[in-house]
Amino acid sequence: MDIEGIAAIVTGAASGLGNATARMLAAQGAKVAIFDMNEQTGQRAAAEIGGLFMPVNVADDASVAAGLDAAEQAHGTARILVNCAGIAPAAKTVGKENAPHPLDTFRKTIEVNLIGSFNMISKFSARVAAASEIEGERGVIVNTASVAAYDGQIGQAAYSASKGGVVGMTLPVARDLAQLKIRVMTIAPGIFLTPMLEAFPQNIQDALGAQVPHPSRLGKPAEYAQLVESIIRNPMLNGEVIRLDGAIRMAPR
């Protein structure tokens, strides 16, 4: 699918991987709507790319519907959806003083990362289903998982479960939406230089980057966005998860 002139939605695009993706899409001529909970940085990010910002909780039906309504009114029916919204709390299954993992933390992680992604997919797709075809397809969806879906570390039970769910639903959702000519792909990034890692001292960043076989550095958000662009433009990419990780396999800790 060509990107120029197409309406696109990127969740979690106030910063990090989502922000790099929103910037790439805007640079390629897309009309971009940013869905994020961080209103201050989201408004600024949208202004910088000439896009639209909507404060959206991806796990909430009414919030997603309102965001989609506003985006459609401003840009027309969106044909591209990139799901980058997510949280990554850390807690062991049994913590200090034999305390069990807080169930609310586990539940919220699943709700945002997995249910939120599916909520966006289903509501976005229902709208695209009525749109006309463009070069033999109606839409493209790119989800964000993580290498933690495959080799989650100590303290990542909730995060790994949520991202494993995103991996697991990729093929069946792609099969569900094939009749509507909507493609579904997932990217599983490794260690990327997101705002969380940018807050670490340089020596910690270097140590993390050294764990990557090649290239031995942290991934750049623009490299994630580059893969999103390739997925959108290549019509044979469908129903698959791509690890974007420099061949890293995470150690237990």
| Active centre residues (catalytic) | 159
- Output the CA angle 98-148-186, nearest 5 degrees: 145
- Based on its alpha-carbon atoms, the radius of gyration of the chain, rounded to whole angstroms, reads 18
CA 237 to chain centre: 17
- Which residues lie across from 36 on neighbouring strands? 55
Q: Is 210 exposed, middle or buried (0-12, 13-18, 19+ CB in 10 A)?
A: exposed
What letter would DSSP give residue 229? Answer: H
Whether the bond into 195 is cis, omega within 30 of 0: no
From first CA to last CA, the distance across the chain in angstroms is 40
Percent of residues in the chain assigned helix, strand, coil, to nearest 5: 45, 20, 35
Question: Rounded to an integer, what distance in angstroms lies between the CA atom of residue 18 and that of residue 56?
Answer: 14
- What is the number of alpha carbons within 13 Å of residue 71 lying toward its C-beta? 33
CB 160 within 8 A of CB 171: no
CB 140 within 8 A of CB 1: yes
Question: Rounded to an integer, what distance in angstroms lies between the CA atom of residue 210 and that of residue 107?
Answer: 33
